[in-house]
Amino acid sequence: MALAFVAFASQAATLKSVRMHEAPDSTRVVFDTSAEVKYKIFTLEDPYRVVVDLQNVTPRSGFDPAVAAVGRERVNSLRAAPRDGNYRVVIDTTSALDPKAFTLKPIDPYGHRLVVDLFDPNQKRSQSRQPPLGKDRSVIIAIDAGHGGDDPGAIGPSRILEKQVVMQIARRVQKKLNAVQGFSGVLVRTGDYYLAHRQRTQLARDKRADLFVSIHADAFRQANVHGASVYTLSDRGATSETAAWLAERENRSDLLGGVGHVSLTDKDPVLARVLLDLSMDANRSQSIDAGEAVLANLGRVTKLHKSRVEQAAFLVLKSPDMPSILVETGFISNPGEARRLSQAEHQENVARAIATGVEQFMRENPPPGTLLASQAAGKAPVGDRQYTIVRGDTLSTIAARYGVSSKLLRARNGLSNDTIKVGQVLVIPGG
């Protein structure tokens, strides 16, 4: 140990770049270095600043830390200079932030990294406040856009990034769910920053989510592989080769996105295991039902990779207290699909399919105390809904799906016959 420490401490490193990501409760500063660095971190008052002393480090020529701070909310400026044989970086912040730092070992495409998270103490408090659960509450759907920050997810042709595409689709899903009476969509990630798998499910739990939907658009080693798929958690092995491959890729995200201490258990391991098994078994079949509803709707707007809900050991789906699904909206490694996934019209279709599947599942499985439960019991009226026609729809199939007559559908929408066209919006009468 002592020898290793000496060798490590004597290694000179180059500071290559510094990057910043802003999250709701913290700002992350990432230092890219050529080797692992030793560092000291402390704060100074008047004005408040965070000082990072990097030992045995020299910046690359032309290094300018100032640009990383431009336009940031919590950081006024970033400056750096050699000092006492160290390289000192000073982060001038707009308020007193609580720094926590850790280093990350190289993982493609990154080399060594030093991560400094600056936590905003005020934000933490307001975030942990939970929404009140009134009578006839809305069901809460946690929509998790995969990846973010240092973890771009899959990278498609012409630099299409999975983290951006899935964020756009997630926002569309949220908008569609919020437009339905009795539904509330909440985004797990709200900007371009990384959240560890465990943080994602914890955030959903804090919001008291009834269902967790993680949205992705991944890559496979063969470019011709395409189509959407839906996954639920399995710890008994993956149902297909693609499922195993994707789960492994996704689980690697915590290393890419940067999590200081990756630990999967924070409770007594035996007790945690028992609790997990009990609650997971109850939620596993619900997850599959939710997945099937979403998959059926996706099949109407895009090709499917697999026509059944698949299972694999995705870390982000390990949330024992809520049904959880992972939607692969398509393969960004397929040039045609990458192009479609970045188009607004296709994103709308995919988002509508996900939202409709979620809605159907929740109406069939309304949690107690929700408006949906009251509606299902006939104690609250079901309001009018809107439906946008997709390819393959006929008036009679829509009428059958919503349990209304074709005649009533025609009357409410002022139609003289059964002709409908793709993109047309129909009012589905409630009652």
Q: Which stretch binds Zn ion (CB under 5 A): 36-44, 182-190, 218-226, 291-299?
A: 218-226
Q: How far is the CB of 166 from Zn ion (least distance, A)?
A: 7
Tell whether residue 218 is a contact of Zn ion (CB under 5 A). Answer: yes
Q: How far apart are CA 263 and CA 274, in angstroms?
A: 18
Q: Closest distance between Zn ion and the C-beta of residue 411, in Å?
A: 45
Taking the complex as a whole, the smallest distance from the CB of residue 230 to Zn ion amounts, in Å, to: 13
Nearer to Zn ion, 118 or 298 (CB): 298
CB atoms within 10 A of CB 272: 14
Residue number, 257 or 323, with CB nearest to Zn ion: 257
Taking CB under 5 A as the criterion, which residues in 104-123 touch Zn ion?
none
Residue choice 28, 137, 216, 305 for contact with Zn ion (CB under 5 A): 216
Looking at the Cβ atoms of 217 and 428, the one nearer to Zn ion is 217
Closest CB 146 distance from Zn ion, rounded Å: 4
**Nearer Cβ to Zn ion, position 39 or 231?**
231
Q: For the CB of residue 245, give the shortest distance to Zn ion in the complex, in Å.
A: 12
Q: Shortest Cβ distance from residue 83 to Zn ion (Å)?
A: 42
- Residue among 218 and 292 whose Cβ is closer to Zn ion: 218
Residue 99 or 153: which CB sits closer to Zn ion? 153
Tell which positions 134-163 bind Zn ion, by CB under 5 A: 146, 153
Tokens 């994103």 appear where?
347
Min. distance of Cβ 111 from Zn ion in angstroms?
Answer: 22
Q: Between 39 and 331, whose beta carbon lies closer to Zn ion? A: 331
The residue whose Cβ lies closest to Zn ion is: 216
Closer of 214 and 283 to Zn ion (Cβ): 214
Contact 423, 346 (CB under 8 A): no
To Zn ion, the closest distance from the beta carbon of 197 in angstroms equals 11
3-state secondary structure the chain: CHHHHHHHHCCCEEEEEEEEEECCCEEEEEEEECCCCCEEEEEECCCCEEEEEEECEEECCCCCHHHHHCCCCCEEEEEEEEECCEEEEEEEECCCCEEEEEEECCECCECEEEEEEEECHHHHHHHHCCCCCCCCECEEEEEEECCECCECCCECHHHCEHHHHHHHHHHHHHHHHHCCCCEEEEECCCCCCCCCHHHHHHHHHHCCCCEEEEEECCCCCCCCCCCEEEEEECCCCCCCHHHHHHHHHHHCHHHHHCCCCCCCCCCCHHHHHHHHHHHHHHHHHHHHHHHHHHHHHHCCCCCECCCCCEEECCHHHCCCCCCEEEEECCCCCCHHHHHHHCCHHHHHHHHHHHHHHHHHHHHHCCCCCEHHHHHHCCCCCCCCEEEECCCCCCHHHHHHHHCCCHHHHHHHHCCCCCCCCCCCEEEECCC
Of 164 and 286, the one with the shorter C-beta distance to Zn ion is 164
Which of positions 22-51 make contact with Zn ion (CB under 5 A)? none
Stretch that binds Zn ion, among 12-20, 175-183, 211-219, 295-303 (CB under 5 A): 211-219
Work out how close the CB of 311 gets to Zn ion at its nearest, in angstroms, rounded to a whole number: 17
Cβ proximity to Zn ion, 216 vs 346, nearer residue: 216
- Least Cβ distance, residue 330 to Zn ion (angstroms): 11
Count of residues touching Zn ion (by CB under 5 A): 4
Of residues 68-97, which lie at the interface with Zn ion (CB under 5 A)? none
Burial of residue 367 (number of CB atoms within 10 Å: 0-12, 13-18, 19+):
middle
**Footprint of Zn ion on this chain (CB under 5 A)?**
146, 153, 216, 218
